[in-house]
Amino acid sequence: MSARLYVIPASHPAIAAELMLERKGIAYKRTDLLPVISKGALRALGFPRQTVPALKIEGSKVQGSRQIARELERLRPNPALFPADPGQRAAVEEAERFGDEELQHPIRQILWWTLKRDKAPLRSYSEGAKIGLPIGLAMKTAAPIVALSAHFNEATDENARAGLAALPGLLDRVDELIAAGTINGAELNVADFQIAPSIGLAMTLDDLRPLIEGRPAGALAQRVVPDYPGKTPPILPAEWLEPLRGTTASAAS
Ligand SMILES: N[C@@H](CCC(=O)N[C@@H](CS)C(=O)NCC(=O)O)C(=O)O
Going from the Cα of 40 to the center of ligand 1, the distance in angstroms, rounded, reads 14
Q: Which of 10, 28, 51 is nearest to 229 (CA)?
A: 10
Q: How many CA atoms lie within 13 A of 235 on its CB side?
A: 19
Residues with CB under 6 A from ligand 1: 8, 11-13, 35-36, 38-39, 51-53, 64-65, 100, 104, 108, 149
Q: How many CB atoms lie within 10 A of CB 52?
A: 27
Q: What does the pLDDT read at residue 9? A: 96
Query: What span, in angstroms and rounded, lies between the C-alpha atoms of 43 and 113?
Result: 26
Q: Report the DSSP beta bridge partners of residue 6.
A: 31, 54
Q: What does the pLDDT read at residue 247? A: 54
Indicate the Cα dihedral angle 120, 117, 126, 135, nearest 10°.
-50
Which DSSP category does 72 fall into? H
With the most atoms of ligand 1 within 8 angstroms of its CB, the residue from 7, 11, 50 to mutate is 11
With the most atoms of ligand 1 within 8 angstroms of its CB, the residue from 51, 63, 103, 131 to mutate is 51
pLDDT tens readout for residues 184-200: 999 999 999 999 999 99
The per-residue pLDDT of the chain, averaged, comes to: 94
Query: What span, in angstroms and rounded, lies between the C-alpha atoms of 149 and 167?
Result: 21
Tens place of pLDDT per residue across the chain (253 aa): 899 999 999 999 999 999 999 999 999 999 999 999 999 999 999 999 999 999 999 999 999 999 999 999 999 999 999 999 999 999 999 999 999 999 999 999 999 999 999 999 999 998 888 877 777 777 778 899 999 999 999 999 999 999 999 999 999 999 999 999 999 999 999 999 999 999 999 999 999 999 999 999 999 999 999 999 999 999 999 999 998 887 544 444 3
The pTM of this model reads: 0.95
pLDDT tens readout for residues 138-160: 777 889 999 999 999 999 999 99
Taking phi first (over 0 means left), then psi (-120 to 50 degrees means alpha), and beta for anything else, what does residue 173 get? alpha
